[in-house]
Each structure stands twice: as C-alpha cells, then as structure tokens.
Structure 1
Amino acid sequence: MPGDYDLVVVANRLPVDRVEEPDGSTSWRRSPGGLVTALEPVMKREDGAWVGWAGGAGDEAPEPFDAEGVRCVPIPLSEEEVEEYYEGFSNGTLWPLYHDVIVAPGYHRSWWEAYVRVNERFAEAAAVQAAQGATVWVQDYQLQLVPRMLRQRRPDLQIGFFNHIPFPPFEIFAQLPWRKAIIDGLLGADLVGFQRAADANNFARACRRASNLPARAGRIRLDAEGGREVRAASFPISIDFRALDELAQREDVKARAAEIRRDLGDPEHLLLGIDRLDYTKGILHRLKAFEELLDDGRVDVAEASLVQVATPSRERVEQYVQLRQDVEVTVGRINGTHSTIAHTAVHYLHHSYGREEMAALYLAADVMLVTALRDGMNLVAKEYVASRHDERGVLVLSEFTGAADELGGQALMVNPHDIDGLKDAVLRALRMPPREAGRRMRALRRRVGDHDVQRWAASFLEALAQHAPDPRGTAAEVAASAEASA
C-alpha cells in the first residue's frame, strides 16, 4: 500500500544527529552537511520523508519522528552490520576502489552479504513511505542496490540516484566481484547523477562492458525492460554560498580571523589545509612539499606557516590509524627541524570545528591548499571561495578533484603527485600580486555563487522530472519548488 510522501530521500544517515541533553533526555539537531542544506527547503515544501541510519548500533531503531520540518524514518544497523556493511563493504571495498585503489580494497563475501541485506532494509522503508507516483532520491555509494530493489517493489515511482564520490574507470571497477549486481542496482533508477562528466562516462562504459548494454550519449537502454532508458549525467554539487558569505562577514567571525593570525605569531603568509583525515586527501603530499620548500630555503619559517586541520575519520579502520601516525610523525619532523621559539612551521589540529571557526580559518588564510589525490568534488575549495568576501586569498587546487572542472580556470592547478610542481604552485601563490589574486578570487566567487547547492538540487530534480514517467506530475512539482527555493 502506498505511503503519504511525494518526495522521499534515502541516504545512509538521517538529516539530524541525536543529542544527549544534560538531564539525560534525547533530542535531535540538524546535521551540518551540504546535502541537508540543499534538500531541507524542498523537503519542507513537499512534506517529504527522509530514510536513513540514526547513527547508533542496535537491532532496534527509534520510531519515525518529525524534526526540523522533515519526517525522519530511522533504519537500524546492528553492531555486526556497522562493521560489515558500513566499515566493511562501503568503506573497505567501495571507497578505495572508487578512489583509484589508493589503498587496496578488501573483497569479503560476508561484507557483500551485509551490504545486500542493509540495502534491502532501506529499500523496503522507502517503499512504505512513498506515495503513489512519488519521487525517491537515493544518495551515494552505500546504497547502490536500492534503486533496483525499490523498482521491483514500486514500479510506479520516479527514482533518482546521486553518487557523491568518483565512479572509477572500468579497468578498476572490473576488479569488483559483484560488479554486475552493482550496475543492475543503479540501473533501477531513471536518472543516475555524478559529480563529473568523466564519472558518468565511466558508468556508461561499465554498463557496456559488464552488462553488454547499449549506452550512447549518456543513455543506457534496457531492452529486457521494454526499452526503458536510464540517463547518466553530471550534476556537480555545491555549497550554500549565501549562508557562508554572510557568516564570514559577521564582525565576530572577522575578529576571530584576526585573532587566529595573532595567536600564530602574525606570519606574513598563512597557508591552510582542511580535510577529513583520509588517505584520498593528499595531506602527506602537501606536508612533503612544504617541508621541501623549507629545506630548500625558498620559504622561511618566519615568513610562512601552515595550519593543517585533520578532522577525525573512521578511527577503527587500520589504514586511517596508520595515516594518522604518518601525518603526526611528519609534522613532528618538520617542526623539529624548522620551528623556532617565535615561529612554528606546522600547526596540526586533529579536531572537528564548527561553522564559525571554519569561516574564520578561511578568512585568516592567504593560501588554501586542496591537494586531494582523488575526490568526487571537494567542497572545502568552494567554502574557501565563498568565505572570501574580501576578494583576497589564493586557491591551490588538485586537478583530481571534481571542483577542478569548475574552478580550474582561476585556481592554481596542481598534480599532487608532482612534488616539484606542487612546490612551485605554493611559491607562486605566496608571491602572487594582490591585483591578480583579487581578479582570480572575484571570478571564483561568481562561479560558486551562481552554481550553489540549491541550484544543484533543482537541476537534478528537474532532469529527473523530464526523463522519468510522471503519472501525477509529482517530480515536476518538486523540481519547480526546488528552483523557487534556490
């Protein structure tokens, strides 16, 4: 029996986080992520439901509840499923595989079985919540089987899927023992969205090679389903530009930015890296380039200082534990060699920070270093641009990020594996004339401001409405509502 909601979002996590209050009671607080920012307005207008994991391990989940104007439908994950579905197949198999095998993926049948089982649970919950002819938008690599499972249960639905991380070339994807099942799962959607055109092309090629399906101009034809077509296309995600721009202009945030520079000894140049502590982010490459600049005498510790924020991530996974150790050893070596009593070469912060502190860090930094080895988008680059209402600062950006497709014209592009080239780019950023830096930043801000996260959501939903059968006009109405909120 159909449910009550014309728009259902299915994501690994709910849009709210559980908060333990001082009196022992529990409340729910809006999550800070970009996806929540993008979809919250349209979810409220369409009386939408959001299916996701509440974040805790256990065989039981809270009953569905309303929070921040959105119906939240929690999905339970047992401790074993957190280990095998989430830490295992999602982040031990798919994450490294989709990021060009920077570390070796693990292929374990028990992980795959847990992934199938949990995807079934998400699909079933979405099918129960969705009204007749509703739009269901499935998010990211943890749930790639859900579109097909959902279509089998509810062929009346309009189904979209968006992959927030890269989709690898077929020569890499082909390693996956369950590649055909993943392709079939994604092809349950009417529209499959990716960050970059190259990712959409990789997916289409995988459909041809793994499943022998005709795929031309981003359209995959399923003759076994009456010639139904699935469209694959790029929809680069963005940020809430207006909100971050306004935040960075607050007097308390500007005062905090000035205070940060004073606390760091008022360096002539402040370089900044902000990343999740992940092997895909190129943190060690960035540190090596900075260390060699100091070793070579091309940069002096009294002239430039690097702040590296590394947000804790997946701390139970072996590769992440080793990465943290490697980063801390490298920082210690750099500081032991180059720091003085008055000046510290690298300030390493293994913490997460709130929006105000992040905006202040962006404002304080003269150079933003984004040196990811592979990244679906990298919103930090766009956040830095949105924060620079003063039209100052230089963005050094890896060509292996999705953001490079949009910002590459005005950022200083680098191959992070090329340490000499990375050093030259950092030095160029430090020496860039203010007039050139201002011209580049103005162009970057126009691009990010014109293509914000609301526009991303609206463009995807509009494309889904145009491509999928629309028995009641629901998807078209949802897209129009999203456009109005942009």
Structure 2
Amino acid sequence: MSETAEQGQYQTGYEFVVVANRLAVNRITTPDGSTGWQRSPGGLVTALAPIMTSSEGAWVGWHGAADESLEPFDHEGMHLHPVALSEQEVEYYYEGFSNGTLWPLYHDVIARPLFHRHWWDAYRRVNQRFAEAAGKVAAQGATVWVQDYQLQLVPQMLRDLRPDVKIGFFNHIPFPPPGLFAQLPWRHSVMRGLLGADLIGFQRESDARNFQRAVRDRLGYYIKSEQIYVPLEDETAAPLEGFTADPARGTAPRQLSAPEDGTFRRSEAKAFPISIDTDRIVELANDPKIIARAAQIRAELGNPEHIYLGVDRLDYTKGIRHRMKAYEELLQEGKLQVGTHTMVQIASPSREGVESYQRLRDEIELTVGRINGEFDTMGHTAIRYLHHNYPIEEMVALYLAADVMLVTALRDGMNLVAKEYVAARKDGTGVLVLSEFTGAADQLRQALLINPHDIDELKAAMVQATHLDRDNERKRMRSLRRQVVSHNVQRWAEDFLRRLDQL
C-alpha cells in the first residue's frame, strides 16, 4: 500500500484504542431466546467507556467464543473490534501460557508454573494478531493502551508495525522479583515486548522496581529514576522472532552511563494503583432496596453478632484456605462460637478448565464440609459457602451486612474487593482485615494489616476485629473511605493517560 493510501487509512481510524484480552461486552441470552451484548461490569470498562465514547475510541479484544469470527460492531457508543481465537489457542495461549505459566510465576510461585514451548509459540502468535488488529484501527498518531499480562508482547510488535502511535501498557497483576522472573525461559522477549510501550504502568512501586531491576540486570539498559533508555539497535534486532528461548542469555550490563542522543528511546515504568467506581458503589449503598436486602441477609443467617465475609475468585492466590484454617481453629479454641459468629465465603467460578483450579475447588469444598459437619448447630451454619457469580447489587448488600471483611490474599496486584467494601460502609462502621501482600495495603493503611501465612496473626486480627471499640472502628473506616473516594478508577485512568500524553 502506498504512503498516501496508508495515511488515508489512518485518518479513518480511531484516536484512542484499548487492546485487552476480552472485549468490553459479554454475550447474553435475552428472555425471548435471542442473543445480544451487555457491557462488562468490570472496573476497567467502567473507567474507559466514558473516554471511549467521548473520543470515538475503539476496543480490540476477544469476544469469548472459540472458533468464531465476528465483524466489528458498535455497542453503547463503543466501537468493538473482535479478535478471533481457535479452541487450541484458547487452551495454549490463555489457559496455558497466560494462566499456567505467567499467572503462577508472577504471583510468587504459590503454584508451580509450567514452561511449555508450544504454549509460548501460541502466546507469541496471538499477541501478533492483537498487535495487527490494533495497528489496523488506530489513526495516525493515535494513543493505544494495551492491558495486562496476556498481551505483554503487543507493545513492541505494535511499535514495529506503527511507529507513529503512542503506546501505553498496564499490568494489572504483580510483577515478580527478578530472581523469580529469571525462571521464565522467554524473559528477554517479554521484557523487550513491554519496553515497546512509552509508558508501562504497574499496581505498586515495588512492581515497577522489580521490572526496572530485571531490565537492568538482564538487558543491561541504562535506567535513571523511572526512565529506561532502550537502545534503538536492540529494537531493530527483531528479538521477538524465531524460536530461541533466550537470545540474550548471559548478557552483562552494558549501559553504565546515559547513551548518546539519537541512539535510544525512553520507556517509563511507573506505579499507577487502580481503583473502583466509587460513585456507583456509594449510590447502591444508599439504595433502600439494597439496605433492606442487607438486613434480610443477616436475618437469613440467624442474626449473628458478627459476620465475617470473604469475596474472591476461586484462585489459589486468594488465601481462602488460610482464612478457613484460622476460623476453624478459633471455633475449636472457643474464641468464636457458631450462632454468635458466622463466615460467608463467596467463591466465584474461575478457570474451571485448568486442573489446578479444579483441585482447589475440591479442597475448599471438602474443608467447608468438614468444618460445618463439626460445628454446625440445628439453627446456624459455621460457613455459608457460595460458588456463584453475583451482580454488583447483591455484592453491595453483602458488604453492608458484613461486620468484618477478610482479604487474605497471598499475593494480589491490587484487590478491588477491599476497596468496594470500604466504599460501601457509608456509616463508618465495619472492619477490614487486609493482607499486606495486596496492592491495596499500600493505600489502606488503617485496615488491620496481616501476614496471611501467619495463621496466629490472622486469628488475632479476626478476634481483634470483633472487639474494636466503636470510636476506633469509625476512625479507621473514615480514613479508609477518604482514600478510596478520592482515588477512584476514573482518576486512575486520567492519571495514566495524562502521563502518557506528556511523554
């Protein structure tokens, strides 16, 4: 295609493009049996949908069905561009490399990551497809924001295709310490893929530092503050091509001082903690119907004095087993009593095609059955376990009903449930028990912070939560709510895009 034709094509493109593993909509079946689309309820869509509608933006992503190709379509002011995936690619790229290799590796190897070359090949192939799709819809000089660990190669692939666009990347999960990241056979390709972005966002300062250290130690690039100096010679070396697992193995640090102008491009790695749609949560928490539903939930549980609540995807990183062990020991020791105290555990189905998740579900359900078998009474249940997805209205009712929120993740990029609970507690009551290994712990310092691996510390915090005097409880919650309300998901998106624009 001629340069003139390319310019004409870009001018009909979109000034703002989001690239994510999934589209911003879910397919639904209507009451009359027909199918349609519904906007996804997640925080990312909530934050970016207004920006997309005001800027005529496009969203590139997979629509959720394997072996099906769809034409681009519009929904509620958003231009959606589906990327097709085969059933094998879903198995290898998504369930395999993304969730069998990267997810456990990036979450401190709580579960053992698997390194399969055919998974990597599929990951690279699918990332190329996403990059090409983004390149086709982006206007000349557009801003393209790539989301999350499934698409870490897209920034450099897109830069190779469209050097005119401005590229941002945000990693929603943790980035591991360099010693753990070094286990990945394709570590250099992943780092170079990410460094194709002008701005790389992370949840925590520690995540950004981990990435910077990995780049310095493994690639030898010069780094000053948050700026990484990417040698242009490395960008032209096609590091993402071929089947070599680690083409730069053994490379020693080279850039001990700033390189000369014209020989490098800057990429910035910086923390941008994500948040929630606080206005929506507060609005629901003030809804009389939801307030009534919260009272009904307490009544259905037998009106205990204290309700402990856990809300998680069913994932081994969430520490569900740890909190159940702590709760069981407190019941055994008589420090908690069924009837006076009740635990509600919501465990949303997750990655049910992955064997490790199937084993986790079996283990959790056996644990719940054992605890209830030992401690249930005729009128009360020790643990009310619910393996379902619930709409946000029901979740807010649960937040209002619960006296203590248990967030015991062993490793979590942020954990938005903690922030949702805080936003919902408009009367200033409620206690948040929060793992120090979540990104939320950096901001929610007035929670009862715990090490979830320390069962005795977790038990002590659970008991402390039920004995806090009301003044202390309200003081803590007021501080937490100020933080959450003033730093919502819209501000997160605006801060990231403002910084990307400055670069």
Structure 1-normalised TM-score? 0.95
**Residue 152 of structure 2 is aligned with which of 144, 159, 184?**
144
Q: Determine helix, strand or coil for the equivalent of 1:107.
A: coil
- Specify the code of the residue in structure 1 equivalent to 2:59: W
Q: Could you tell me how far 1:215 is from its partner in structure 2?
A: 1.7
What does residue 475 of structure 1 align with?
none
Determine if the alignment matches structure 1 residue 190 to structure 2 residue 227.
no
**Residue 296 of structure 1 is aligned with which of 328, 333, 347?**
333
Contact conserved, 1:396 with 1:426, CA < 8 A, in 2?
yes
What does residue 478 of structure 1 align with?
none
Q: Determine helix, strand or coil for the equivalent of 2:214.
A: helix
What does residue 362 of structure 2 align with?
325
Q: Separation in 2 of the partners of 1:333 and 1:247?
A: 36
**Residue 11 of structure 1 is aligned with which of 9, 13, 20?**
20
What does residue 392 of structure 1 align with?
429
**Residue 341 of structure 1 is aligned with which of 378, 390, 395?**
378
What does residue 101 of structure 1 align with?
109
Q: Separation in 2 of the partners of 1:239 and 1:22?
A: 31
Within a 5 Å distance, the mapping from 1:27-426 to structure 2 comes to 27-58=36-67, 60-224=68-232, 226-408=263-445, 410-426=446-462
Q: Separation in 1 of the partners of 2:23 and 2:406?
A: 31
Contact conserved, 2:200 with 2:270, CA < 8 A, in 1?
yes
- Specify the code of the residue in structure 2 equivalent to 1:240: D
Deviations 1:277-314 (A, max 9, x none): 00000000000000000011111112100000000001
Q: Separation in 1 of the partners of 2:35 and 2:302?
A: 42
Q: Separation in 2 of the partners of 1:343 and 1:86?
A: 41
Q: Separation in 2 of the partners of 1:287 and 1:38?
A: 34
Structure 1: runs of 5+ lacking an equivalent: 468-486
- Specify the code of the residue in structure 1 equivalent to 2:185: P
What does residue 256 of structure 2 align with?
none
Contact conserved, 1:205 with 1:215, CA < 8 A, in 2?
no
Q: Determine helix, strand or coil for the equivalent of 1:341.
A: coil
Q: Separation in 2 of the partners of 1:232 and 1:213?
A: 13
Q: Separation in 1 of the partners of 2:456 and 2:33?
A: 54
- Specify the code of the residue in structure 2 equivalent to 1:463: R
Q: Separation in 1 of the partners of 2:33 and 2:124?
A: 36
Contact conserved, 1:54 with 1:61, CA < 8 A, in 2?
no
- Specify the code of the residue in structure 2 equivalent to 1:275: D
Task: Go from structure 1 to structure 2 and tell me whether the alpha carbon gap of 1:305 and 1:217 turns closer, same or farther (over 3 Å shift).
Answer: same
Contact conserved, 2:302 with 2:339, CA < 8 A, in 1?
no
Contact conserved, 2:69 with 2:84, CA < 8 A, in 1?
yes
Q: What's the Cα RMSD here?
A: 0.8
Contact conserved, 1:197 with 1:233, CA < 8 A, in 2?
yes
What does residue 500 of structure 2 align with?
464
Q: Separation in 1 of the partners of 2:387 and 2:300?
A: 18
Q: Separation in 2 of the partners of 1:305 and 1:249?
A: 25
What does residue 248 of structure 2 align with?
none
Structure 2-normalised TM-score? 0.92
Task: Go from structure 1 to structure 2 and tell me whether the alpha carbon gap of 1:302 and 1:23 turns closer, same or farther (over 3 Å shift).
Answer: closer
Contact conserved, 2:418 with 2:440, CA < 8 A, in 1?
yes
Deviations 1:130-162 (A, max 9, x none): 000000000000000000000000000000000
> Quick one: higher RCO (CA 8 Å, sep 6+), 1 or 2?
1
Determine if the alignment matches structure 1 residue 438 to structure 2 residue 474.
yes
Q: Separation in 2 of the partners of 1:351 and 1:49?
A: 32
- Specify the code of the residue in structure 1 equivalent to 2:44: L
* Alignment size in residue pairs: 465
Q: Could you tell me how far 1:235 is from its partner in structure 2?
A: 0.1
Name which of structure 1's ranges 211-220 and 164-173 shifts more when overlaid on structure 2: 211-220
Q: Determine helix, strand or coil for the equivalent of 1:290.
A: helix
- Specify the code of the residue in structure 1 equivalent to 2:191: I
Identity of aligned residues (%): 63
Name which of structure 1's ranges 255-264 and 386-395 shifts more when overlaid on structure 2: 386-395
Structure 2: runs of 5+ lacking an equivalent: 1-5, 234-262
Q: Separation in 1 of the partners of 2:412 and 2:370?
A: 28
Structure 1: 4+ residue segments shifted above 6 A: none
